[in-house]
Structure 1
Amino acid sequence: MAEDEKTPAREVIADYAQAHFRYFRTADGTVYAQRTGHPVARPIRSQGTTGSHRQELMVGLYRDGIGVFNGTALKEALDLIEALALSEQVQPVHIRVAPGFDGATWLDLGRADGMSVRIHPTGWDIRTPDPREVCWKRTQLTGELPLPTRDTDGKGIDLLLRLTNFANAQAECLALAWLIGCLGPSVPVPAAFLTGPQGAGKSTAGRMLTRIVEGMSSDLRRPPKDEDSLTAAVAAGWVTALDNLSHMSPDLSDAMCCIVTGAESVKRALFTDGDVHRSSYRRPLLLTGIDVGVIRPDLAERLLPLRLERPKVRRTEAELWAEYAEVLPVVLGSLLDLTVKVRKAHAETPTDPRMADFAHLCAQLDAATGFGALAAYRASLDDLNDDVIEGDLLAQTVLTHAETIAPGAAQRMTSTEWLACLSCVYSGEEARPLPKGWPTTGKVLADRLKRLQPTLAARGVLIDSGRTKEARYLEMTRPAVPPPHEQPPLPDQGT
């Protein structure tokens, strides 16, 4: 064959690629390659340590006897494929958990063969998902899960709780509700906060809960020092677990609120002047620590405290993790069984908690099992409100002044007048000096009270704002029937 009759290398590569791979783009314009019939997708420009599509293509060409091609030919072929894929239909990629057809959800087992778990209210099964239904994205944080055991009759739940040191049945049922929430791609779940005395096994329990969803290679991490590092870690995995928190800075608190309820990060795209890179994320979050100091009200509404106690009998790490690895398939199977029962259950959606989706999940768990998870969740929120008030002198002062307002009455003043009034209440007859961090202007006071509105409302004090022709005002009201502070007794029921 004459030299000019040979097919150019870039065309050989492009023909082979389109015959063996499916190419599509995501909403942000990133082009992915998916081997025919396989659910795992890789960005064609990736050079990551988990393997790039370029490497995958080179290996396929070599093993199928097509040949070995230089970098220029590969680049030209991939440039063409990328341009063609930008006109294809948009499809999202998912890490670990994904929505499917007909109300189902999928759990990626992280296996090389792409086997995954399909979870539906009618049951769960293990299969390879249709690539057009689910596209998995893998990173270094994507660990492999064992094949879950069927027909466990709930034994895995008992095995898990035996290995952990939860202080009571209420903490146990909330931990189960959190795990079920982690298997739902559309349900925001509050950040599980494992707390307790030193030696209670908080880090161990945190690893166990995380590894049920993320695999045995998952581990706890120290909180990153900046928001960009935290965002990168969150975007690369499903459950983000931070260990041994002792302080919660305002920036970290705000970042955690965004992780729980969802946010988008926009940065300038590399090697460009005007383009941007968008990264949307909402992930389950797990924290461990004895005490994190003052908790801001907005984060308190997104926390799920799970208290642990010191074990009576200590075990070696090797013995403990060997048993955990052995029972993990049974634990995962029992959790999937429970998830199916919960999703099948019907319950009304509570409207009082901020995390209404998780409250509804707790109500479904109660309907399926009778654990009392919703009452336990409400009690935990009430305890967190107490923590917020105990750590905020302004909130304490507002509640003290509110006791002078008759039930059903309201008091209206400008923010500057309120600042003078509350400062006098705090100083008292002893004329004690105002504490550090006390509001210095009416505007600062108004902003602080807006942040404290949910916490104060839970204690029967309503703060509202408005404007007259003369000036803006703040109004403090005590409803005639304040919300109950005490929660109904929780059923003393194990799992």
Structure 2
Amino acid sequence: MTNSKDLAREIVEGTGTEVEKGRGPSQASQITALARERYELFMSEDGRPYGVKVDGANIALPLRGKAGLRSQLARIYTDAHDGSVPAQSALTDAMVVLEGVAQAADPRQPHVRVARGDGVLVVDLGDADGQCIVIGPDGWRREQRSPVLFRRSGAMKPLPLPLRDGDGLAKLRALLNTDEDGFRLLVAWLVAAFIPDLPHPVLTFRGEQGTGKSYSAKMVIGLVDPSGAPKRTAPRDIKSWATQAFNSWALCLDNVSIIPDWLSDALCRAVTGDGIVDRALYTDDDVVVLEFRRVLAMTTIDAGALAGDLAERLLTIELHTIPDRARREEAELDAAYSDAHAGILASLFDLLADVLRVLPDVQLTERPRMADFARVLAAVDKVKGWDTLESYKATARDAVADVLDGEPFAQAVVALVDRAGPGGIVLTASELLERVPAPDRLPKKWPKDPTRAGGQLKRLAPALRTIGIDVDDSKRGPKPKKQRLYHLTASADRRCETASPASPYDPETDSDQQEEGGRYRGDASGPPATRGDAGNARGDAALFVASPQDTGPDQHGYSRGDAGDAGDAEMHPLSVPAPRTHRTPGQDAEDAPQDARPTTPCARCSRAQWNAEGSPLCLDCRTAA
């Protein structure tokens, strides 16, 4: 009989049997010994157990699940025991012990596809040998064993070994049907995609049906992170999305038409860095964390259906329609892409090395949204002599404008501000909701109350600022309510852009002719038909000819306050405007002539009415109040 001490030793060693029966160590104990001998066990920073081979590729194998280290240990055990297969229960028992060993080690963080090493960038080629490409300011090279720890997933495929074979970028250019600016932006985005520790804008291929959006996206994802499923449909829930994003460095959502709010927010977080917490399987209170920052792409026909905060994180590449005579079969494209893949990678890595060399000296005078990415674009421009940074800013503005066009409430706010003139408009959320014209059938996102109106205006503020409309909500109204006041103003550039082309408007010099609702405010008290020649005189010129004789050279000059259009130099105006009078020093505002009183935008109705000294409201609004 064995004593209790021997029995305890047998249980610790995993024998599970009595010594006198003559049996050796159990399968579980043997598997545990094999794992501890050949693998280094540790936990990741997000609480997942891994093992990495001591004398092999620097690839972390997960302990949980049937793939990874579990299957490797089963193979090793079978090879060592003449084909004897270990029991599933033995493997399960061994994994429990090994996870406990991993918890005692210092945590480490495995990376996916790309990582930053000691002053260099490392790209995992994804092959069975664990080879990688190391890229630094002095160039790039292949190494047999990665200096940093990577992990793999079933969604990943190997990258080809880069090979300098002519101009790889020219080969890529031949496979795409965008313009030169779009191609250069795409190249810069690809270079930044191999830099892991910065937010990357969502690459968006946009175009009509038949422009090759899906194939272009498949090629681009294949250059960065090849996958068996490079194009994916929109996930059904946040857990499904987190699983996809956790197991790939780059992924693409194909044929996006409408993105639900939760997915729009998830994409924004994935750009800047995200973490999803979920309950661990077969537990009540244990959790697992999926942390990731990813390189994303999508294809769409209409970007106006996207949310504004996501639109600010887009880099849009417009694809041209492919004529039928120039369309190529997919098999032909696949062959051309396969032949060019290695050369394209080599050219991208050459450019990335040059970017890493100049990047420390690049400083931006203005930092737009996604400033880290913008700095990489500036470095690409410095190396190649391109202008990708300005192109990126322009595409970002266009994307935001498209999104605003798709939101009726935003359009109503923009129209209200454009009618307000240089001083803008100051009002509460309740007044804003009253002032904007509501459609007969309210859209889904139309705010139902002042609280939602203020919140939506706050959400739209970055997008509005992009198109030249500033939203300032830092001030409060008078006591006792002290309501939040929203000051909405259009920039001078926007006022010039939205001014009527028939009514030249200079926001700096035309103090007497300030635009309001597409007209001039020179004589705001009269109806539009009697406002003199400060309006559009082109219609008058079309009806009345000055004289059948030729006019002299001195008649071709014109005064902006007199006609507003050069056509009046040869045609009679309908009326002669009365000279504008001005208040003399010491004259009271109430005693001054109506057209001599200073006109400023009313804080409530925004019309160009006379305001008493110190009052933000016009006479009409003060009387109504």
What is the alpha-carbon distance in structure 2 between the residues aligned to residue 87 and residue 485 of structure 1?
Answer: 67
What is the alpha-carbon distance in structure 1 between the residues aligned to residue 205 and residue 242 of structure 2?
Answer: 22
Out of 172, 176, 179, the position equivalent to 1:164 is 176
Out of 254, 269, 276, the position equivalent to 2:265 is 254
Q: 1:381 and 1:9, CA in 2 relative to 1: closer, same or farther beyond 3 A?
A: closer
Out of 168, 179, 183, the position equivalent to 2:190 is 179
Moved more, 235-244 or 384-393: 384-393
Look up the match of 1:490: none
Report the TM-score, using the length of structure 2 for normalisation. Answer: 0.70
Letter in 2 for 1:333: A
What is the alpha-carbon distance in structure 2 between the residues aligned to residue 199 and residue 36 of structure 1?
Answer: 51
What is the alpha-carbon distance in structure 2 between the residues aligned to residue 96 and residue 484 of structure 1?
Answer: 48
Q: Tell me the alpha carbon deviations over residues 220-246 of structure 1, each in whole angstroms, 9 at most, x when there is no partner.
A: 122123232222211121111111122
CA positional deviation for 1:311: 2.9
Letter in 2 for 1:80: V
Secondary structure at the counterpart of residue 244 of structure 1: strand
What is the alpha-carbon distance in structure 2 between the residues aligned to residue 216 and residue 314 of structure 1?
Answer: 25
Out of 29, 38, 46, the position equivalent to 2:65 is 46
Look up the match of 1:235: 246
Look up the match of 2:44: 26
CA positional deviation for 1:80: 2.5
Q: Tell me the alpha carbon deviations over residues 305-348 of structure 1, each in whole angstroms, 9 at most, x when there is no partner.
A: 10111234122111111121111111111111111111212321
What is the alpha-carbon distance in structure 2 between the residues aligned to residue 6 and residue 404 of structure 1?
Answer: 90
Letter in 2 for 1:266: V
Letter in 2 for 1:315: R
Out of 63, 71, 82, the position equivalent to 1:55 is 71
Out of 21, 36, 39, the position equivalent to 2:54 is 36
Letter in 2 for 1:463: V
- Pick 1 or 2: higher relative contact order, CA cutoff 8 A, min separation 6: 1
What is the alpha-carbon distance in structure 2 between the residues aligned to residue 442 and residue 62 of structure 1?
Answer: 70
CA positional deviation for 1:479: 6.7
Taking the TM superposition and a 5 Å limit, the aligned residue runs for 1:375-454 are 375-407=390-422, 409=423, 411-422=425-436, 426=437, 433=440, 435-437=442-444, 438-454=446-462
CA positional deviation for 1:89: 1.0
| Contact kept in structure 2, 1:350 and 1:359, CA below 8 Å | no
RMSD after superposition: 2.5
| Contact kept in structure 1, 2:207 and 2:300, CA below 8 Å | yes
Out of 354, 357, 367, the position equivalent to 1:341 is 354
Look up the match of 1:121: 137
Report the TM-score, using the length of structure 1 for normalisation. Answer: 0.88
Mark the structure with the bigger radius of gyration.
2
| Contact kept in structure 2, 1:193 and 1:286, CA below 8 Å | yes
Moved more, 172-181 or 288-297: 288-297
Q: Tell me the alpha carbon deviations over residues 132-179 of structure 1, each in whole angstroms, 9 at most, x when there is no partner.
A: x422211111101111013x46x111101101111x111111111211
What is the alpha-carbon distance in structure 1 between the residues aligned to residue 391 and residue 368 of structure 2?
Answer: 12
Letter in 2 for 1:97: V
Secondary structure at the counterpart of residue 299 of structure 1: helix
Secondary structure at the counterpart of residue 141 of structure 1: coil
CA positional deviation for 1:461: 2.2
Moved more, 371-380 or 352-361: 352-361
| Contact kept in structure 1, 2:121 and 2:134, CA below 8 Å | yes
Could you list the runs of 5+ residues in structure 1 that have no partner in the other structure? 487-495
Letter in 1 for 2:443: K
CA positional deviation for 1:392: 2.1
What is the alpha-carbon distance in structure 2 between the residues aligned to residue 64 and residue 351 of structure 1?
Answer: 64
Letter in 1 for 2:309: D
Letter in 1 for 2:69: H
What is the alpha-carbon distance in structure 2 between the residues aligned to residue 137 and residue 184 of structure 1?
Answer: 17
CA positional deviation for 1:477: 4.0
| Aligned sequence identity (%) | 32
Q: 1:366 and 1:81, CA in 2 relative to 1: closer, same or farther beyond 3 A?
A: same
Moved more, 256-265 or 212-221: 212-221
CA positional deviation for 1:28: 2.4
Q: Tell me the alpha carbon deviations over residues 233-270 of structure 1, each in whole angstroms, 9 at most, x when there is no partner.
A: 11121111111122233233222212222221111111
What is the alpha-carbon distance in structure 1 between the residues aligned to residue 418 and residue 302 of structure 2?
Answer: 30
What is the alpha-carbon distance in structure 2 between the residues aligned to residue 452 and residue 400 of structure 1?
Answer: 14
Secondary structure at the counterpart of residue 390 of structure 2: helix
| Contact kept in structure 2, 1:463 and 1:474, CA below 8 Å | no
